[in-house]
Chain A
Amino acid sequence: MTTTTETTDPWSSAAPPEDRSMASDPWGNAPSGQEQASGSSWLTSSAEQAPITNSWTDPFLVEWFDLRSLVNTGVKHLVENFRGFFDIAKQPVDWMLEIFTLALTSVHPFVVIALFALVCWQVSGWRLALGGIVSLVFLGAMSVWDESMITLALVLTSVFFCLLIGIPTGILMSRSEGVARALRPILDAMQTTPAFVYLVPIVMLFGIGRVPGVIVTIIFAMPPLIRLTHLGIKQVPADLIEASRAFGASRRQILYRVQLPLAVPTIMAGVNQTLMLSLSMVVIASMIAVPGLGLMVLRGIGRLDVGLATVGGLGIVILAILLDRMTQSLGRDARERGTRHWYESGPIGWIYRQFKTQSKT
């Protein structure tokens, strides 16, 4: 699907304000001409018959205040005046997405699979590595490799920004009760808002396409990471903090040497959650013209092509399981896996041992 142009909303260079039905149409160029002519598209339908008024028997027939046009003009104003800001906000996301996409789609699939297997082996063990190889080959065998890699790039980009913003925010919350109190209702709102509704403000401000799709994913997937970082730090036993203080630790030392290391498993659970939410949001975001596996599902449903939808859905599930396993094992303590340090296991451990035996002889 190409990116939208034409008469869509404030993002187009020249938006004819009189064309209300088009302006509110997130699909922009999608509706066919005949639909427009008939004016009966379910997406664009609006009551434009003879004046209807409220009465005592039917008090809610017409809106009491016109939120819809209020928001439309408000957003129009916002976007027209702060276009620069929103463009700048999009930039870093755009770059990261470009990098990830390029990395995953331009190299040979076998190289990607091999790298994946190595990472799986490192974070968990040979079992997961084997599972990773089988899953990825299966994706390729269904001929959804490109779509999978695009979806993966979207997810990785969103997780990258979630980590970049979410962990410091969580730390900030744990350090300042004021920040925590201010952010909590926002996080609550973010988490209770259904995924689909998220699209509204993002489309309003950023338009549609891959980058807005990633932005909406970031916003949707971040709250659990913030919460769990906050929780992980708060959970560190008070006597350990007291002991650190008694030995002269500064606030920064307490954070880096005690709180964060002890919060790692909880933060990793947050990363896992964020990853899973990202994946589910990337699928929903296909409704605002984000390509990848999600789009296959959406298209399959739209055309009643259940086979296509299944292939896309299966791809998503496979990716989800793989990423879930990988992050779950990250959260586990290395000692539970029988080694004391992460560099003593997996492929790095192998290299490490070679190095050690060499230096001994």
Chain B
Amino acid sequence: MSTKLEVKNLYKVFGDEPKKAIEMAKQGIDKDQIFAETGMTLGVKDVSLQIHTGEIFVIMGLSGSGKSTLVRLLNRLIEPSAGQVLLDGENIAAMSDEALRQVRLKKISMVFQSFALMPHLSVLENTAFGLELAGVPVSERHEKAMQALQQVGLESHLHAYPDELSGGMQQRVGLARALAIDPEVLLMDEAFSALDPLIRTGMQDELVQLQAKYQRTIVFISHDLDEAMRIGDRIAIMQGGEVVQVGTPDDILHNPANDYVRSFFQGVNVSQVFTAKDICRRKQSTIIRKTLEGGVAAAIAQLQDADRDFGYVVDKEGRFEGVVSLASLWSAEKSGKSLMNACLLDLPIVKADSSLSEIISVIAQAPCAVPVVDDNQKYLGLITRAQLLQALDREEDTTP
């Protein structure tokens, strides 16, 4: 996995003498004390991160922990006080203004918590805003903006103005505006925090789906554990301007680096908060594509190669079709039946949004790992008994 964006020893001091504050921070004086002594705020302290190509990297932390500052240092909306931000090895922190402008026009775009849409521009014009700044001719930029709006499902509101749209739709425009320039890196600062919970989860799902299609590098800021878990491939936890832990959601849940990290899960009833989607895993080796050449025989080969007993059949749109076992495949092969006829009957399926408490008994009784599907029957992954126990176990760890 290659590194897209790398941050090295990055500092941001809000104040007149950043050097002095950095010196103090290096001596181990903490943020509050630096503020008390000098009046300067240490926004980001010695952050080093590596963000991989194509991942959703979530930065999580309490309000005031420096998340917004950090993400704005990545595209230099805020000038770093010290350190480097490397995009494909190029140091953004030391770029000329013109080079920086080119990066912003072509490579990095951003979605804001407040939407920040231009009230005097229509949806289409808003979406084309970045392209317009880059001097792309009208017809071409409208075409690209249309494509971006299609991706977020807003192609029917081209000529509406932002104040005529609901919050969720406005943020779709915000997302489309960011997607329109076809960026390599997408920065999202609490992009969904201002939305209603229901719309918010919808947007999260859409983001994950878009991501599955296009594999952009996304840096997503959130103060919400649930959100971070849902969409993050890896999570960085910030505290007082520092990154205290980086890891996959699993890592962080199982081995919290300190009490601050643990406090995120404190009092959280895991079985209520987590849904099937959060703990399911996608294992490529058990997914059998219906379009597979050779059908039954190929499926047998695949399962045997992966040393699995069960396989999960999906169609080419990713919709779940059924479960097959090696035994059922063999009997189908003997009698010359199709893959679909090999599917086992009466096996349970769980919905993505079911809470863990709802699915405990289903999973405990199932003969194999249980597939998780969303409302459109789309296959999201599997939950094994071990996974479920692991997830529930965390509850005992974290509740005092």
Contact = CB atoms under 8 A, between A and B. Distances in A.
Interface of A: 237, 239-240, 242-250, 253, 257-258, 261-262, 335, 340
Nearest to B177: A247
B122 to A, nearest CB: 8
Contacts of B129: 244, 247
Interface in B322-348: none
Interface in B81-140: 101-106, 109-110, 112, 114, 116-120, 129-130, 132-134
A262 B77 contact: no
Given A242-B77, A242-B112, A247 B118 contact: no
Interface string B150-186: 0000000001010000000000000001000100000
A250 B133 CA distance: 8
A258 B118 contact: yes
Q: Classify the secondary structure of A's interface with B.
A: helix
Contacts, number: 54
B75 interface: yes
B299 to A, nearest CB: 48
B134 A248 contact: yes
A247 B112 contact: no
12 contacts: A242-B77, A242-B112, A243-B117, A246-B75, A246-B112, A246-B187, A247-B110, A248-B103, A248-B105, A248-B106, A248-B133, A335-B161
Nearest to B107: A248
Most buried by B among A249, A258, A261, A340: A249
A247 B125 CA distance: 14
Given A239-B112, A247-B110, A247-B130, 14 more contacts: A237-B116, A240-B116, A242-B112, A242-B116, A243-B117, A245-B77, A246-B109, A246-B187, A247-B104, A247-B133, A247-B177, A248-B104, A248-B133, A335-B161
Contact of A239 (B104, B114, B161): B114
Contacts of A246: 75, 77, 104, 109-110, 112, 187
A242 B181 CA distance: 17
Contacts of B105: 247-248
Nearest to B134: A248
Contact of A243 (B112, B120, B134, B161): B112
Contacts of B181: 247
B133 A243 contact: no
A271 to B, nearest CB: 18
A235 to B, nearest CB: 12
The 3 closest A-B pairs by CB, nearest first: A248-B104, A248-B105, A243-B116
Contacts of B106: 248
A253 B101 CA distance: 12
B120 A262 contact: yes
Contact of B101 (A240, A250, A335): A250
Contacts of B102: 248
B297 to A, nearest CB: 53
B75 A253 contact: no
Contacts of A250: 101
A257 B121 CA distance: 10
B393 to A, nearest CB: 42
Nearest to B104: A248
A239 to B, nearest CB: 4
A243 B126 CA distance: 11
Contacts of B103: 248
Given A242-B77, A246-B104, A261 B134 contact: no
A258 B103 CA distance: 21
Contacts of B177: 247
Contact of A249 (B120, B133, B159): B133
Nearest to B108: A246
Nearest to B180: A247
A147 to B, nearest CB: 41
Contacts of A242: 77, 112, 116
A246 B112 CA distance: 10
Nearest to A246: B110
Contacts of A258: 118
B273 to A, nearest CB: 31
Contacts of B132: 257
A237 B132 CA distance: 21
Contacts of A262: 118-120
Contacts of B104: 245-248
A247 B134 CA distance: 9
A247 B109 contact: yes
B77 A240 contact: no
A246 B132 CA distance: 14
Most buried by B among A240, A248, A257: A248
B77 A248 contact: no
Nearest to A240: B116
Most buried by B among A242, A250, A340: A242
A261 B132 CA distance: 16
Contacts of B112: 239, 242-243, 246
Contacts of A244: 129, 133
B118 A240 contact: yes
Contacts of B116: 237, 239-240, 242-243
A253 B133 CA distance: 7
A340 B112 CA distance: 27
Contacts of A257: 132-133
B190 to A, nearest CB: 12
A248 B161 contact: no
